[in-house]
Structure 1
Amino acid sequence: MKRVLITAGATGIGLVMAQAFAGAGYRVWVTDVDAGMVSALPAGIRGSVCDASQEPAMQALFADVARDWGGLDVLCANAGIKGPTAGIEDMPLDGWHQCLAVNLDGAMLAAKHAARLMKPAKSGVMIFISSTSGLYGTPFRAPYVAAKWGVIGLMKTVAMELGPHGIRANAICPGSVNGPRIDRVIEAEAQAKGMTPDAVRQGYAAGTALKRLSDPEDVAAMALYLASDGARMVSGQALAVDGMTYNVDP
């Protein structure tokens, strides 16, 4: 039975991915900073409280994985926060640092410690959750955009370094995904732009070829594919799951 670890997997996209992997027969272990959500995980999904941006916590987590599972087949580096929404002239430095710490440092730490488990086995899959913001940018979201571009660069480097050891790495780039998180993003962007939340949401949908937002299940389906043997020659790719976004400024 294959083993998957998902950071920030107790809510949102992470939880939907966890349920999809469990449904596909994987052993699933998720982390989250929210102890209450970890304690409420569905049966069959193991959870640990862990801040993905802190190396001592990640070291302890992967030590537990090595002890209890003896290895790891799939990593989903999913931990992320939206960061501050503001024009660059008003961007708070502490908010910038926090956003990069969770989104980019967290991805690096997950890859670092997963590689130490996967290299001896000469196999493994790393899936990084970036964003379409990491492909072309988003106004008023400089920290998030910078972090998600960084995740793609990290992924490509990891794919090059670890490919000779039988390890694949790819990034999923969701667009706007239905759920509480995008609701908060839309509220903040509407305030920054002097628009109504409904107008911002409609602009997001109108800026895609399919004229709708994605669902978490769409992202989970891509993760399952990338983890599968059907994707055995897919590595180093940043794959958008967004209905083909072509207008990024609603």
Structure 2
Amino acid sequence: MSGRVLITAGASGVGRAMAESFARDGWQIWIADMDAAALDAAPSSWMRSQVDVSNEAAVKTLFGEVLEVWGGVDALCANAGIAGPTAAVEEIKLQDWQACVAVNLEGAFLAAKYAAPLMKAQGGGAIVVTSSTAGQYGYPYRAPYAAAKWAVIGLTKTLAMELGAYGVRANVICPGAVEGPRMEGVLEREAAAKGMTRDAVYNGYASGTAMGSFVEGRDIGEMAAFLCSDKARLVSGQVIAVDGFTVNPDPKV
């Protein structure tokens, strides 16, 4: 199966890797992102929109444009997320908590809210929401992020229940630690919070997996493309970790 896929935070990182995986399978691509420069650097054949996924009016407008241009959407990858603060829970400011939840949880909710009517009307579709292994095990010093990533799992399972009768599937991907600039920032902040070196934190993440490795963006992209394909036609309501199998979510190094 190929079709029309909309990917939030699709201009760089994991989202860009998702778009590239779908493109290799012949899908039409629409990426939404806040980063204008990254949007401009995307392949010219991709549709693109600069959107704040936590702004309902902006998300509603985006799906209106998708409907006008494409007539519908076959797959949604609700991938937008931010790291949020790295601090002990008593040191986290409420506004920082709210900002993290707004993007990671409310952004996924809004994307699903406006994708669902289009998919129901056409009698089918697939939704993939990006959570994290932090949404399975918890994440010390990252309370807002972990809370939001747990919450999107409940959201997605509910979507699978509500939308299954309309031929719409919904699944969650939980990436482990993904190589790239965003994770580098996490490593540096976590090292400072824990009084460790960046390399010690990096090695701790890697050694906490059965396969002793970080994940690459393409690993996530290929799983998203599979979950939205006919090969996964009866896969719904599932939470799939792509992490080399986390055996110790908070290794002490």
Fold equivalence (TM over 0.5): yes
Q: Is 1:162 paired with 2:168?
A: no
Deviation at 1:42, TM superposition (A): 1.6
Deviation at 1:37, TM superposition (A): 1.2
Q: How many residues in Structure 1 have an aligned counterpart in Structure 2?
A: 250
Moved over 3 A (4+): none
Separation of aligned partners in 2, 1:224 and 1:12 = 16
8 Å contact kept, 1:22–1:44: no
Deviation at 1:242, TM superposition (A): 0.2
Which amino acid in the other structure matches residue 49 of structure 1? Q
Which amino acid in the other structure matches residue 74 of structure 1? A
Aligned to 1:234: 235
Aligned to 2:144: 143
Deviation at 1:109, TM superposition (A): 0.3
Deviation at 1:43, TM superposition (A): 2.6
Separation of aligned partners in 2, 1:43 and 1:72 = 19
Aligned to 1:128: 129
Deviations 1:126-179 (A, max 9, x none): 000000000110100000000000100000000000001100000000000100
Which amino acid in the other structure matches residue 7 of structure 2? I
Aligned to 1:219: 220
Match runs of 1:9-158 below 5 Å: 9-158=10-159
Deviations 1:45-82 (A, max 9, x none): 11100000100000100000000000000000000000
Q: Give the structure-2-normalised TM-score.
A: 0.98
Q: Please report the RMSD computed on the Cα atoms of aligned residues, expressed in angstroms.
A: 0.7
Separation of aligned partners in 2, 1:11 and 1:170 = 22
Which amino acid in the other structure matches residue 150 of structure 1? A
Deviation at 1:16, TM superposition (A): 0.9
Percent identity between the aligned chains?
A: 56
SS state at 2:192 partner = helix
Deviation at 1:191, TM superposition (A): 0.3
Separation of aligned partners in 2, 1:127 and 1:239 = 10
Aligned to 1:8: 9
Separation of aligned partners in 1, 2:246 and 2:102 = 27
Separation of aligned partners in 2, 1:35 and 1:217 = 22
Which amino acid in the other structure matches residue 92 of structure 2? M
Deviation at 1:248, TM superposition (A): 1.3
SS state at 1:138 partner = coil
8 Å contact kept, 1:100–1:147: yes
SS state at 2:247 partner = coil
Q: Give the structure-1-normalised TM-score.
A: 0.99
Which amino acid in the other structure matches residue 139 of structure 2? T
SS state at 1:209 partner = coil
Aligned to 1:173: 174
Which amino acid in the other structure matches residue 97 of structure 2? W
